[in-house]
Structure 1
Amino acid sequence: MQTNKEKAVEEVYNNLIAAWNNRDAEKMADLFTENGESIGFDGSQSIGREEIFSHLHPIFKDHPTAPFISKVKDIRFLTEETVILRAIAGMIPPGEEDIRSEMNTHHTLVLVEQDDEWKIELFQNTPAQFHGRPELVHEMTNELRTLL
């Protein structure tokens, strides 16, 4: 059973996914601390809410981004105010009906509690290609398909 703190942390992650899926750069950036950092699937790095917004806004404006299907795998508290959340995610590109396995990713977040509110200090979106181990790609994709 999840604690209230775990639920609150998972809610921040769910809000991050919802903001991405709704193509809302402002809501996404607002989930970060003032100096929070986002590292994208392609390795691009944005530091601070303003830079995160400035990076995402044109992407959402000019590209039909694929929505995430995601699953939280672990929430681990380092201190009472610092937590690591790990999740897996896949994407269904616009016009398609299934998860495209080459877009599978690991999401790693470090969140901190500030003034009774959880904020993202770091969000890293790492491709999950499992080079030389295609069975792990299929396993992750099938786990995510159960959420469809």
Structure 2
Amino acid sequence: MTDTAVHADREAVLDVLNNLYRAWADNDADAFVADYDPDATSILRGVFNSGRDAVRDRMAAGFEGPLRGSKTLDEPQLVRFPTSDTAIVVSRSAVLMAGETEAPADRWVMATWTLIRRDNRWLLTAYHNCPAQ
């Protein structure tokens, strides 16, 4: 891949994450999973979700309950392309609950996002996070 192609793909991959976080801020579960692969998997706090619909349902429940009014902070640490159609993003993230201006230290996580390119579109296919040190 050329430097120009890598830069364009990096921006496109980060746009997927930015769209997801805008959807989170809007508490919109449908928009949240708009860039998810139908067979995507997600592991959050040890809970496994299999498929875009399961992720959507979990987020909808959160947005209707404890995550209402929350938003996220995300600091990409690494974006790499093991193949031309696969991207791995490692980020440091935290949830700001409604009314908060800072996330407590124990709410920060390290996350790994795996994206695939399908039909010229980047899609999230796997997500996992764990507490940050």
* Fold similarity call, TM over 0.5: yes
Q: 8 Å contact 1:33–1:120 — kept in the other structure? A: yes
* Bigger Cα displacement from structure 2, 43-52 vs 104-113: 43-52
How many equivalent residue pairs? Answer: 128
Per the alignment, in what secondary structure is the counterpart of residue 98 of structure 1? coil
Per the alignment, in what secondary structure is the counterpart of residue 102 of structure 2? coil
Counterpart residue identity of residue 13, structure 2: V
Structure number with the higher strand fraction is: 2
The superposition leaves residues 1-28 of structure 1 with CA deviations (integer Å, 9 ceiling, x where unpaired) of 8611110011111112222222111111
Q: 8 Å contact 1:93–1:100 — kept in the other structure? A: no
Listed as ranges, the gaps of 5+ residues in structure 1 are 131-148
Q: Distance in 2 between matches of 1:64 and 1:117?
A: 29
Aligned to 2:101: 97
Aligned to 1:73: 77
Shift in Å at residue 63 of structure 1? Answer: 2.1
TM-score (norm 2): 0.87
* Bigger Cα displacement from structure 2, 93-102 vs 25-34: 93-102
After superposition, the Cα gap between the structure-2 partners of 1:64 and 1:84, relative to the gap in structure 1 and judged at 3 Å, is closer
Aligned-pair RMSD on alpha carbons? 1.6
Is 1:117 matched up with 2:131?
no
What is the identity percentage for the equivalent residue pairs of Structure 1 and Structure 2?
Answer: 23
Q: Distance in 2 between matches of 1:45 and 1:19?
A: 21
* Bigger Cα displacement from structure 2, 104-113 vs 26-35: 26-35
Q: 8 Å contact 1:35–1:121 — kept in the other structure? A: yes
Shift in Å at residue 106 of structure 1? Answer: 1.0
Listed as ranges, the gaps of 5+ residues in structure 2 are none
Aligned to 2:46: 43
Segments of 4+ moved more than 6 angstroms: none
The superposition leaves residues 109-138 of structure 1 with CA deviations (integer Å, 9 ceiling, x where unpaired) of 01000000000010112221x2xxxxxxxx
TM-score (norm 1): 0.79
Counterpart residue identity of residue 60, structure 1: F
Per the alignment, in what secondary structure is the counterpart of residue 27 of structure 1? helix
Shift in Å at residue 90 of structure 1? Answer: 2.2
Shift in Å at residue 102 of structure 1? Answer: 0.8
Aligned to 1:133: none
Per the alignment, in what secondary structure is the counterpart of residue 33 of structure 2? helix
Aligned to 1:59: 62
Is 1:30 matched up with 2:38?
no
Q: Distance in 1 between matches of 2:121 and 2:8?
A: 12
